[in-house]
Amino acid sequence: MKTAEIAQRYLTYFEKQGHTIVPSASLVTDDPALLFTVAGMVPFIPYLSGDVPAPYKRAADNQKCIRTNDIEEVGKTPRHGTFFQMLGNWSFGDYFKEGAIRYAWELLTTPEADGGLGFDPKDLWVTVYEEDDEARDLWLRLTDLPDERIQRLGKDTNYWSTGLPGPAGPCSEIFFDRGPAYGIDGGPATDDDRYVEIWNLVFMQYEITDVKSKYDFTIVGELPAKNIDTGMGLERIAFLKQGVDNMYETDQVRPVLDKAVELSGRTYGADHEDDVRFRVIADHVRSSLMLLSDGVTPSNEGRGYILRRLMRRAIRAMRLLGVDGPTFADLFAASRDAMKDAYPIVGEEYDRLSAYALAEEATFLRTLAAGSEILDESVAQTKAAGGAELSGSQAFLLHDTYGFPIDLTLEIAEEAGISVDRAAFDTLMQEQRARAKADARSRKRQLADTSVYRDFRAQGETVFTGYTDLETESRILGILVDGHPAQRATAGQIAEVILAETALYAESGGQVADKGVIVGPGFELDVLDVQKPVPGLISHTVEVASGEVGVGQPATTVVDVANRRAARQAHSATHLVHAALRDTLGKGATQAGSLNRAGYMRFDFAWGQALSDATKSEIEEIAGNAVRDNLEVTTRVLPLAEAKELGAMALFGEKYGDTVRMVDIGGPWSRELCAGTHVSSSAEIGLISLVGESSVGASTRRVEALVGQNAFRELAAERAIVSQLTSSLKAPRDELPARIAELQANLKAAEKKIAQFEAKALGDRAPQLAETATRVGSQLLVAQSIGTAGSGDDLRTLAVQVRDRFGSEAAVVALAAEVNGRPVVIVATNDAARAAGAKAGVLAKAAAAALGGGGGGRDDVAQGGGADVAAIPAALQAVTAGLAAG
């Protein structure tokens, strides 16, 4: 049974049981505590918690998920995958334990010919929470499971909570017995790979507080509406129904594994380590493709870092399989073909998605080459110093700064005959992880408890009137002070105010929040921010400028008209620039993020190279022509499917319901789904002036523009500068570039002459410096500060000149100077000194330590530096002491 067929059977069954079929949410979640949708329940959290009324009593879905906390287990077990799909059925205050158990058992055990999944009841086991007698009795009554195949387990496995105050409850899990070939008898309690969990039924019936840990909390009481949250792992069902040993060999994953086998020339099933690598590649390539399809792009932080890590682990695995060159073109194409039927976007947008993957692969292959050079140098220095172990800090630097994998460091070091201080490396890694976890915990603690908005949201959605009105009369539904409900707020206090209606735009879709005021009888509130803390609810963060505001009072929201006008201009300008980019570069230049505020727009788009000046001018001209042509701007609210049929573009990071708002500028020329505020005709935008273009990732560029009055002011400022230059340089405007180029050439020539004079002056000091030599043991030493030097190269040249004056007599020269405000020491040794054991690199490192910095180099010439110029005498003394000790 194919994976897609399993999903369809599941959804068809629950649709027949009266469930609303809900499409999968994006892998990129709105939950600020999470980077990704890590579980099937994430999109339903507002309904499960009661913060937002559920739009249906019962639902079912097939939800895309990404989870990387067990990434090291990928490929080693039959079921660990970073991308996976969760089949879920949900009840929001409707059916409870009995219904959930009946539905699960019926679907699992109904024969395939009758639309079920065809599991033999004798192969199924069940676990329940040890204190949940009700669930155990229901399993016995509703199914033919014998008592011995229903096991009681504790909170660590069979009790669900988020780890935060809110809903919680016991759960019951269904397991499939793979048979004695896979492990010992004894049921799921044996915690063996023989018993595979295929379905988890969460009975969300309690509200908890005083949460000290996931298992230590206080139950306040039962929830007013009990919910059902169930999940069945699609990949787990697939590998069981397809008769393979693990999820990596199912129909949606195996094609990538087979392509890796083909590219490497190795055999799957012949070597355990190679098999793990093949499975890692298959999993990570599919996960990367799905993340790309939901708008995530490689970067060094957040979601982009996770994607980059997945890609680089796949590249590394291919390297360990003996393939050093690029492979993503083949691997990603194989994943596309396996996934496009279930997720058409990976086929429709493949050219754009694969561009990111190929660019990331090329970048990392260059990183591996550069890292290998750095590592080779570190290994050489270690061996030259007589060491047999590369420091853990050096290995960590390669990993953390250059993205160089530790296993590759170990491999190369071993080939060179030295080891790596793995214990020190692991300590540094643990410290980094601890910092990351602390940051995550801190972020989680700082999150507002959204349950405070539950009662407000239960009264209905906040009505936004700002598309047509700049003032709206309403009433105060609620006030929050320091995150807690309050009846009133007084002058000087910061508070959140919830209204039934508002004309103030809440930040979303790249457009920042409106500015304005809220006024009422005896009070005035300055609006600091406007947000949507839960879907459908708008909250205004305000400072009470005067008076006292209370719950239930009438209030009028008043938009700052000038700021709104400029924000509308910027947002509409963003649409014009997007259309101009696609006209100029092609359909591949799709949005990857935006920011619009009064007078300014920033637009990120998929593109792999810098734009030429000519291209930027063309984009600016196309957008400007659209302004000149006074194109009509229209908005329509219509079904999502109809908007897509009309060619409307969905913007990066936005979530859309069944009904959407479509913004047209000039008809289909610019047609996007957008909830922002816009001008009524393009001429209202005014001037659009591109002021910046830069890279923000391997395949993402950013353009910035000033809009309207801000653009005029910028051009006026530039005109004033040009006027000053024409006056100062006594040249017409058209001749300014040539005149400035001439001045630059003259300045460069003058600087070159000055450098030559300074170098000659330094060189003239060589005889005098040589005369300061003192004897240290069998060698002569010159250890002097020369004051200041133009560059480290000048100081190096002088040190070599002084050294060469000693001929065949053993001599060491250490010269120090202040270069650009920082201390620099150069140590030079001749052949005789080195034969006597003097090493410039060792002595320079000793000097640098005294300067509070670092240093080293070859045995003949080396350099050290630091931050403390006053420590130069101590640095020279360190050289003297080092030479005497050697």
Could you tell me which residues are annotated as the binding site for Zn(2+)? 571, 575, 674, 678
Tokens of 325: 């060159």
Q: Strand (E) positions, 350-412?
A: 389-390
Is residue 656 a contact partner of residue 675, using CB atoms and an 8 Å limit?
no
Strand-strand pairing, 779-788 and 774-776 = antiparallel
Cα–Cα distance for residue pair 9/868, rounded to 1 Å: 72
SS3 state of residue 595: strand
Binding residues: 571, 575, 674, 678
Tokens of 701: 């560029």
Beta-carbon count within 10 A of 181 CB = 6
Cα–Cα distance for residue pair 478/462, rounded to 1 Å: 12
Strand-strand pairing, 124-129 and 389-390 = unpaired
Nearest in space to 3 (alpha carbons), one of 81, 58, 69, 76: 81
Tokens of 5: 């067929």
Is residue 446 a contact partner of residue 483, using CB atoms and an 8 Å limit?
no
Non-local CB neighbours of 142 within 8 Å, separated by 6+ positions: 98, 101, 102, 105
Tokens of 189: 């309690």
Cα–Cα distance for residue pair 587/859, rounded to 1 Å: 57
Residue for token digits 């599941």?
Answer: 10
Cα–Cα distance for residue pair 53/64, rounded to 1 Å: 23
Tokens of 215: 């298992």
- Which residues in 67-77 are b (16+ Cβ under 10 Å) and which e? bbeebeebbee
- Between the two ends of the chain, the Cα-to-Cα distance in Å is 76
DSSP letter (8 states) at residue 27? S
Cα 302 to Cα 307, 308, 309, 588: the distances in Å are 9, 10, 11, 24
Which sign, positive or negative, has the C-alpha torsion 745, 750, 756, 759? negative
